[in-house]
Amino acid sequence: MAGTDSSIKIELRPTPAVILCEPQLGENIGTAARAMANFGLWDLRLVRPRDGWPNERAVAAASRADHVINKVRVFETLEEAIADLSLVYATTARSRDLKKPVLGPDEASGNLHAHISNGRGAGLLFGRERWGLLNEEVALADAIVTLPVEAAFASLNIAQAVLLMAYEYRRHSELGTQLPFSETMAEVAPRDELIGLFGHLESTLDGSGFFTAPDKRPTVINNLRTMLERGKFTSQEIRTLRGVISSIDRRHQRPNPNRQKPQRDENDS
């Protein structure tokens, strides 16, 4: 879904850190960074990335999420990566033999937002591509976050999991209800313009003989008005519709180029 506006300045607000444990593919790091950027997250931390850092494939896959890529921090241990965080959730799709609270994405994101709003650090922990997180890594987290996935096919790509959690966090923030271009949508036309459209259409239909049963005219008028009102037309759309009606109303004044002239019989004098 394209739509990046490079003229808008990116603001780095307090958000959860995203910690990737031993990511194997640079492409997954890059697409995770892109997913974070989509929803305003920027603090990406890597624990022992297999191919080292920086990684050209990650940069390419990030698709210009440079503000995330340029701030990536690399750690040798998970303990170091989460040392400054007072709330950490581990994401996993597998059952664990650990006495940990299990949260859904909605509840977890609400908790993260409340925690960060109070000026404290929080993070989301994601595991390896092939086998996820180790039990000893999950043990370092405050709770487990899991998604309502299909049990027979529960594994998600890292970037997909990051995207879902980033979206949920955004939804709980003050920006969660702001759609990117909703403010630029044209406003519905004033009521008097719609009433003018009603009158124009009805007078044209009267002149064309549309209402063949006068007793049914009020019902038909009400139906037409209901349909037109439901359209929530803009002023420009109403002007267009009235232009169409005017054109139809003037049709008898213009010659029809498709109408064939009657042929004259040779015997006619």
What are the pLDDT digits (tens) for 115-151? 999 999 999 999 998 889 999 999 999 999 998 888 8
Arithmetic mean of pLDDT, 206-224: 91
If you average pLDDT over every residue of the chain, what do you get? 88
pLDDT of residue 195 exceeding 60: yes
C-alpha span between 104 and 171 (Å, rounded): 14
- The confidence score (pLDDT) of residue 98 equals 83
Q: What is the pLDDT of residue 197?
A: 93
Rounded CA gap, 134 and 7, in Å?
A: 42
The model's pTM is: 0.68
Quick one: which of 48, 21, 47, 44 has its CA closest to 32? 44
Q: How many residues does the chain have?
A: 269
105-111: long-range contacts, CB 8 A cutoff, minimum separation 24: 105/145, 105/147, 105/164, 105/165, 105/168, 106/168, 108/143, 108/145, 108/165, 108/168, 109/165, 109/168, 109/169, 109/171, 109/172, 110/172, 111/87
Task: Report the C-alpha gap between 2 and 4 in whole angstroms.
Answer: 6
Q: Residue 22: CA atoms inside 13 Å, Cβ hemisphere, count?
A: 10
Residue 248 has what pLDDT? 85
pLDDT at 131: 85
Other beta carbons within 10 angstroms of residue 135's beta carbon come to 11
Distances from the Cα of 262 to the Cαs of 213, 257, 259, in angstroms?
Answer: 34, 14, 9
Q: Where are the alpha helices (DSSP H) in the chain?
A: 26-38, 56-61, 66-69, 78-81, 105-117, 135-138, 158-172, 191-208, 217-230, 235-249
Does 257 have pLDDT greater than 70?
no
- Asked if pLDDT for residue 190 goes beyond 80, the answer is yes
What sign has the CA pseudo-torsion 188, 194, 197, 201? positive
pLDDT greater than 80 at residue 185: no
Name which residue leads in pLDDT, 12 or 67.
67
Contact 52, 23 (CB under 8 A): no
- State the pLDDT at residue 107: 96
Is residue 1 pLDDT above 90, yes or no?
no
Label residue 260 by pLDDT band (50, 70, 90): low
